[in-house]
Amino acid sequence: MHWINFIIITLLVHPSWTLSNNFNHLNLKTYKSNKIPYKDLTLISPLEAYTISQNWLENTVFNHFNHNLEKTFPFTYDNIFNDFIKLENYIKTHQRTNDIYMYWMPKSNNKYIKSSPLFIIVCEVDSSNTMLLIKQIIQSPFWDNKQISSDNLKISLTSYASQVESKDIDLTYLYKHDLKYKLSWATWNLTLNSKNNN
């Protein structure tokens, strides 16, 4: 369903709905990675991935309407909505045994605040059964890099590929279709290389 139609229907169904987890509240959260990085990842079904993304979408819509007088969406929301649409379309044709869906949920540093998924990851095992292809990563609209860096997500994925799947990780498809991860993680690699050379 197109996100605009979804928003209209949601508003009709929940006209007085208020957020319990608004942006300001969630931004108070910080997270720490597990000492065994892949343990921050949880395998889920395609339906669960879709349900989490729709929950994020609902929260984004209502949080915006509850905190803004202007009932229009800023341009920066386009990427969020586009990611949800891509995920929905991908799930329709990718529910085979070699398709893997996960979410990344590091532990909250505040024991009184419950952890919640920060990213949904869509993977595929290649035909040679030697590579774990990362196809799509969808971030929670409520995640902020100040809470925990996405570099830790890459570490978790690399850990999962090698220690659980016994495969190499392939980010080629992701980098080609999502420039922000290529820029972010390529910079991270350059920084690591620089530190190792010093």
Domain locations along the chain: 31-188
Alpha-carbon span 123 to 132, nearest angstrom = 7
For 116, list phi and psi in degrees, rounded to 5. -145, 155
Confidence of residue 68 (pLDDT cuts 50, 70, 90): low
Confidence of residue 66 (pLDDT cuts 50, 70, 90): low
Structurally, at CATH architecture level, domain 31-188 sits in 3-Layer(aba) Sandwich (3.40)
Comparing CA positions, the residue from 140, 148, 134, 138 lying closest to residue 33 is 148
Percent over 70 (pLDDT), the chain = 71
Alpha-carbon span 39 to 118, nearest angstrom = 14
Comparing CA positions, the residue from 103, 104, 106 lying closest to residue 31 is 106
The mean per-residue pLDDT over the stretch 53-70 comes to 71
Scan for tokens 């925990």, then name that residue. Answer: 148
Confidence of residue 17 (pLDDT cuts 50, 70, 90): very low
The mean per-residue pLDDT over the stretch 4-25 comes to 40
